[in-house]
Structure 1
Amino acid sequence: MNKLLLIGTLCLLSSNLFGQISTKDSTVQVIGYWAKQDVQSYDITYEKYKLKSKDTVSRELMKYEVDIKIVDSKENSYTIEWFYKNYTIDTENELVRKLMSISNDISVKIKTDEYGVFKEVVNWKEVREYLIKITESLKTELKDVPNHEKIIANVMNVYSSKASIEANAIKDALQFYKFHGVKYKLGESLTGQVETANNYGEKPFETLVQYSLDDINETDGNSILRSNEVINSKELTDATYNYLKQLGTFGDKLPARNNFPSISNETNTASRIHGETGWIIYSIETKKITAEETINIEERIIEIK
């Protein structure tokens, strides 16, 4: 999701960038104080599971490591390399296991502004070509899996452009830089409306957001930030229904739109951030998608080594 364009109430950064934590007025400015060649390594855990009538019917667990290196530092921007490695994937679904492993040993170069606010993926064409090459090899490995070519093609459509890669291929990085570039005050919430990418190819979803400073730890020099994001349920349900109708997989079994279950999508994120450097210490993001008695949950944890 693009960096917040919050309505009216955002308190933008002051010109004095020293001392991100101010206990005097209970405020925190989240800024990246990084130098060229700085490196931090992280463990990332991504878990996805489905609940139906409160019973777990499927579960996937992926763990990997990422080295984050500041490859360039200018007056108004950083160029940062995210190198992904050492994937382990726990799932009984062979197709899912193969598809989830395509990012192993990939290097993604990201540009932020001088505060650490995400701006773009610099080498998106290289990322796209790398993924195309890997998925082409998967077609042979997965030739016995029903509809494997169509499934792989749908996956690659998600990564076919700069915008889609920035929305879907770097969700851990978007989580990492989510709180950068804004000044927060303890006990106050920043609220507004943003747009979230729509992978069904229609217009973006309206999303209500709320950001807040939860805790200031002066002793350890860090703070905890939280966010809540809720996608417009009607827009999401309409887009899902239209996609399924066009896909044609369900045929006559697809109910009429007025009988189609309403879908909700809510994401909560909490990050502990080092005050002097802007490096993430620990971050957890939980997305819950609900349709009647079925709940799909995705949880990503980023933890500094």
Structure 2
Amino acid sequence: MHKLLTLAFLFCITGKLYAQINPADSTLQVVGYWQNKEKQSFSVSHEKYKITGTDTTSRELITYQVEVTIKDSTAKGYTIEWFYRNYAIESENALVKKMIPLFQDIAVLIQTNEYGAITGVSNWQEVRDYMQKMATHLESELAAIPHAKGMMTQLMAMYQSKEAIEANAIKDAQQFYTFHGAKYSLGKELKAKMQLRNNYGGKPFDTDVTVSLDEINEQEGYGIIRMYQQVNPQQLTDATYAFLKQVSPAKNTFPARNAFPQVSNEIWTASQIHAGSGWIIYSVETKQVKAENVTNIEERVIQLN
């Protein structure tokens, strides 16, 4: 019932219930029609687990709230604040539990174009400085945890530059705005190739992308769009092998490249989007990275409160 009331509110403020649904040709155009100072609240869950063979060997669940506020609206685009709060975690990893305060009460300013497609982070320096300050406060607590220093260094690398923050530190926002700025036809698959950032430091990975509009609900005023991404497995395996060999203390005995297992990376994203406003109602993204008999799975769910 709460969700229905929220949607009814969205219908009223936009005044364009079916503005982006065209029944004549069964298309949906995803554009953000957001009002200045408008605010919506979202619940986010981020679950990670590892499957070895047929057994789940580790699991981690992080939940938090995000207040999304339109801070500025112009003819050229939007400035949108993502304010993070109320973190909770289920994990056996002591380091991860200690690191959660790093993200508490942090505000990230997302920039989009006039259609609502994300273009960057405007306050990335503030975010970087905030994370560094919080990390310094945790140094003494992390000292007793094995390998904490290395993992903290790896985490903070995600916040050292504008490019790094936009590529790695705002995954939920990227998921949120994935489909904005384009027009989709019901039942028609769009195929394309894109470049995905290589976090090992080399050339970007070639990635095959398929997007489809699976459902238009004119009565409720929403559409459901899905995307599938597959990273080039040869490029990914080569980069993974080179990185692991470089950091290995036993480089001379490291396995030969032809003995190294192939690594795959696949991502599935599905979003239910309110047509009149461009707000996300529900979105789920599942990432699967596999090598031999080990599969690492991440799933992020974003839901309008």
The question of a shared fold, defined as TM-score above 0.5 by the shorter chain, is answered with: yes
CA deviation after TM superposition for structure 1 residue 99, in Å? 2.7
Cα deviation, 1:232-280, whole Å, max 9, x if unaligned, reads: 1111111111111111256556311111110000000000000100000
CA distance in 2, matches of 1:203, 1:140: 37
Contact 1:47 1:62 in 2 (8 A): yes
CA RMSD of aligned residues (A): 1.2
**Number of the residue aligned with 1:173:** 173
Equivalence for 1:148 = 148
Partner of 1:248: 248
Give me the whole-angstrom Cα distance separating, in 1, the residues matched to 2:249 and 2:95: 19
User: For residues 255 and 139 of structure 1, what CA distance do their matches in structure 2 show?
Assistant: 36
Structure 1 vs Structure 2: percent identity of aligned residues?
50
Secondary structure, in 3 states, of the residue corresponding to 2:72?
strand
Residue 120 (structure 2) pairs with residue 120 (structure 1): yes
Q: Which residues in structure 2 correspond to 1:29-178 (within 5 Å)?
A: 29-178=29-178
| Alpha-carbon separation, structure 2, partners of 1:184 and 1:219 | 18
Could you tell which deviates more after superposition, 265-274 or 189-198?
189-198
Deviation at 1:100, TM superposition (A): 4.2
Residues 1:184 and 2:184 are matched in the alignment: yes
Give the Cα–Cα distance (whole angstroms) in 2 for the partners of residues 139 and 249 of structure 1: 26
Deviation of 1:98 (Å)? 2.3
SS in 1 for 2:41: strand
Distance (Å, rounded) in 1 between the aligned partners of 2:143 and 2:301: 33
Number of aligned positions between the proteins: 288
> Would you say 1:25 and 2:25 are equivalent positions?
yes
User: Contact 1:89–1:101 (CA<8 Å) still a contact in 2?
Assistant: no
Which residue does the alignment assign to 2:266?
A: 266
Cα distance, 1:303 vs structure 2: 0.2
The Cα of 1:104 is off from its aligned counterpart by 1.3
TM-score (norm 1): 0.92
What TM-score does the superposition give when structure 2 sets the normalisation length? 0.92
Taking the aligned partners of 2:223 and 2:101, their CA distance within structure 1 comes to 33
Please report how far the alpha carbon of residue 140 of structure 1 lies from its aligned counterpart in structure 2 after TM superposition.
1.0
Q: Using the TM superposition, give the Cα deviation of residue 218 of structure 1 relative to its aligned residue in structure 2, in angstroms.
A: 0.7
Q: Which residue of 2 aligns with 1:6?
A: none
Cα shift readout 1:12-70 (whole Å, capped 9, x = no counterpart): xxxxxx81011111000000000100000000000000000010000000000000000
CA contact 1:229–1:267 (8 Å) conserved in 2: yes
SS at 2:102's partner residue? coil
Q: CA shift at 1:147, angstroms?
A: 2.6
CA distance 1:167–1:81, change in 2 (3 Å): same
Give the distance between the partners of 1:233 and 1:156, measured in 2 at CA.
27
Cα deviation 1:172-204 (Å, max 9, x = unaligned): 000000000000001111111101111111111
Alignment CA distance shift 1:250-1:156 (3 Å) = farther
CA contact (8 A) 1:244 1:250 kept: no
Structure 2 residue runs without a partner (length 5+): 1-17
Change (3 A) 1:24 1:72: same
Greater helix share, structure number: 2
Shifted more, 176-185 versus 157-166: the winner is 157-166
Structure 1: runs of 5 or more not aligned: 1-17
SS in 1 for 2:269: strand
